[in-house]
Each structure stands twice: as structure tokens, then as C-alpha cells.
Structure 1
């Protein structure tokens, strides 16, 4: 079994208690692909770990969450998925992929590393679209030897749209997207969403 020293972690942007590891994968339709595994170890040695997957337009930065899991006896790991946050490369379009199962590669690799770092049980956790992605992963791999529980926070299981928008608008946009993948449409994201989160404006997060 490999020890944690087998992997060349670097100090993460969140500080010395956080380390990051770049995961490399085969090129896709945009070229080179990487994901980033971030970890924060608990003070006491433990065989329990959390693997957290962020939501859309997002990445891992919630240090309070990592610290809470540490205090409850879990080593904390988080993935910045391909084309998000730390993993976005200059040639890539943010968040762009063709099938959610593409994320299985980095989740599987992260779980492999977590297992090699002397853990035997993992809580798979996800927020928003990360909740959908982790739920799909758990469904695809129901007998995974490490995954013992699934925890989702505000999982994105459905569109909060009218019946007409669901029946007509979303299928129409999906069809247009197949032929014009770079076309831009209004996201519907409230303009105050980011200012409400960031300390530089009105929020609590850096």
C-alpha cells in the first residue's frame, strides 16, 4: 500500500494546513485535462475520510466545513473537477463537458488515493450539481469498497422552472446546444449571488 508520501502534494492557496495534488487524465475534446484534489488532515490519525464535490460555478474554498469534519474525526478531501477552479486550464471553457460520467474518472482516482492513504471508509459529499454528480456516482458504483454513506446539500435533482420551461424551453436549449456549443444564453443567476457571498462585498467568504 502506498503511503501519503508517494504523492507530491503542494501547499494549497487556503494555507499551510491544506495541500493540493494535480490529477492528470487523458486528453478530451478540448485537449489536456486535469483535476485537483485538496486535503486537510485531522489532528488525530483516522481511517475515516470525506470526499466533497462542489457545485456549478464553484470550487472548494469552505475551510469551515473542512475544519468541522476534522473535528469530528474525518480527514477531509475535496475535488475541484476538471475545468473548474484550480483545475481550469487556459485553453479550456469553464465547466464544459458532454456527459456527467466524465467526472467518474477524477472521483475514482481521488477515492483510489484516499484508500492508499490508509482510509477504509469514505463519506461521499456533494453540493448542488455536486450532489447530483455524487448521487450518480454512488448509483454507478453501489459496491465500491470505500463509500459507506452519501451526504448531499441542496442537490440539483431538477430544474426549478415552470412546466412550459421544462417541457419546451430546456429541450429546445439542449438541442441548440448540440449544434452550437459555444452559444451564450442568459444563465438566470441572480446578479447579487456573488456579492452576497464574498467578503469584498456583503458576504462572509474570501
Structure 2
């Protein structure tokens, strides 16, 4: 871990690949680096050894030829998945991640964590990151790997760029937030109330409860992963009315149907269950979203959609136990080999 970022040689502001000033990532340390994207932060994995005072090879791995992956996190989340970076790099991909505005490395003092009033505000961050990666990795196909709310946001972004060639070459959605996991009345009458209240009281708290899913994932609690609990909070992040209004508007677009032009893989756990410490299957189910709803909404994303159900997976399939996590990554990499 590096407490004081060390600058990586680069140029000043501009539009070339060198316009970003890179620093050793202050959360993961070397060989991860971070760069300021305005309201967002771009992270890259650079496993190659650099000469003293020099740059690493362009992608950090001379064998990288298949493509570049950009990871987009979800709500109450940020990029800490060093194992995911290694898995994609070992499979021949340059790896990047973006911490969206008001989240993770991009959260500034005085900001409300994860709060936006339109998901296309965060889609602007996805767009900025995608453009930066394309400049840094010219000629390589771009794969966007997006989780939960990041999957919803990235779907809107890909749809918006369906005709201009600036979207992804392939979109991988890991447990995407395509619909609200709630009773029918909350998805109808409740949505109408959120639409009204979210307009006049956007910062009002709609709900706030602990995330037993995040609690159980933390290594200090017997889980598998280490992460910053101020950026991925076991106590949860309040769902505010303005944010929920934005999410429900995005869900309505998904229900009407999107037209993503490139291949989409929608992956999800085989089962859902309650986010409750009394649930004996807390570590083998999606306890945040309804996987039946994900499967139902997925075909409406575009013309080439593949579904992948992962037995024993959790909400973020990349954080599952070894068996389901391997099955997920094998499924993703096999699909990419076919589609790219």
C-alpha cells in the first residue's frame, strides 16, 4: 500500500495518451496506477517492471493483444478487485477500472456518496474513461465489464452510442441492476411516489439498512476480501429519493427496450435470497437483486444478448467463492473469445 502517490512520467493536459498524469494507486499500490479524469478516477494495472524513472510497457504486458477491459463498479462500491485485474491480464487483456463521481477514489469532502439525479451523469464518466482507454490502447477492442448499478449505467451509455462507434465492442454485465427487487406495488405506486418526492426532495433518504452482503465479504469478518470500509460500507449507503428516481427512470428505459449494437453478456447468480445474516445461503445467492427479473429484462438490451447463470454466485460474481468465481470468469473469457 502506498500512502503518498508517486507520479508516473507523463505529459500535461491534452488529447494524446500522455495527457493523463499517473500516480501509484494510493489504495492498491504498485503495480496499480491512478489518474484524474475530472469528476472520476481512472485506474490501470501495470504488472510489467519499469526501468528506474521510466514507463512500463504500453499495456504492462507485452503479450496483451486481445483487447482492453474497463471495469465499472456498482452502488456502495469502488474498484478493489486486484484479482479481477490479474485474471484479465493473464488472459491477454489490458485492464482498467473507473471510480465514478462521488464514489471510491473520486469521493471528495462534502459530497454525498454515489448521489446523482440522472444516471447519465455517471455515464459521462464511463464515456471519459472509455475514450481514455481507447487512446491508451489504440487498435484494441474495448470490453466494458460493469457490475450492478454500473451495469445499468453502462447499458444506457452503450445504447446512447449505438450508432457512432464510441461505445463498447463488447459489454459484460455482472449482476446488473436492471429492475428493482421489490414487490409489485413498490415498482408501481412506489415508483410514482419516488418520481414526485425525488423531484422536490432529492436528498431525502428513502431507505438505509446495513449491507450484510458487504459485511460477510469482508476478510475481517471471515470473508474473502479486503476493502476500504469507508468506500464500501458494511453499514450501507442511504438510498436517496433523487438517486432512486434516476434509477427508476433508467429501469423504465430498459423495460421499453434498448438497442445496444454490440454483443452483451448478462451474468447473474442462479438464485436470489434475503440479505439477512440468518440466511444460511448468504454466500451462495444474490441477496441484493432478483435474478429472475435480471433474466427477464436482459433480452431487451440489444440484438445480441447472451445469458450466463452461475450456480453459487453472489451479487458481484467476481467476489464469489473460488468455484463459482472461476466458472464466471471462464464463462466471460470464453464468450469474449467467441465474440471478439
TM-score by length of 2: 0.54
Q: Which residue of 2 aligns with 1:64?
A: 83
Unmatched runs of 5 consecutive residues or more in structure 2: 1-14, 47-59, 227-340
Distance 2:211 2:103 in 1: 20
Select the structure of larger CA radius of gyration: 2
Write the deviation string for residues 65-118 of structure 1: whole angstroms up to 9, x where unpaired. Answer: 111000011111111000001101112111111111112322222122212213
Partner residue of 1:100 out of 106, 119, 143: 119
CA contact (8 A) 1:53 1:126 kept: yes
Unmatched runs of 5 consecutive residues or more in structure 1: 25-33
Equivalent residue runs for 1:14-33 within 5 Å: 14-24=28-38
1:84 aligns with 2:103: yes
Distance 1:144 1:17 in 2: 31
Distance 1:147 1:184 in 2: 34
Write the deviation string for residues 36-71 of structure 1: whole angstroms up to 9, x where unpaired. Answer: 000113522535200111011111111111110000
Structure 1 pair 76/184, CA: closer, same or farther in 2 (3 Å)?
same
Deviation of the 1:168 alpha carbon: 1.1
Distance 1:100 1:146 in 2: 16
TM-score by length of 1: 0.87
Please state whether the residue corresponding to 1:19 is helix, strand or coil.
strand
Distance 1:117 1:205 in 2: 30
Please state whether the residue corresponding to 2:71 is helix, strand or coil.
strand
CA contact (8 A) 1:49 1:119 kept: no
Q: How many residues align?
A: 195
Q: Which residue of 1 aligns with 2:222?
A: 202
Distance 2:135 2:177 in 1: 31
Comparing both chains, which one has the higher relative contact order based on Cα–Cα distances under 8 Å and sequence gaps of 6 or more? 1
Distance 2:219 2:158 in 1: 35
Which is strand-richer, 1 or 2? 1
Equivalent residue runs for 1:97-176 within 5 Å: 97-120=116-139, 121-142=141-162, 143-145=164-166, 147-176=168-197
Deviation of the 1:174 alpha carbon: 3.1
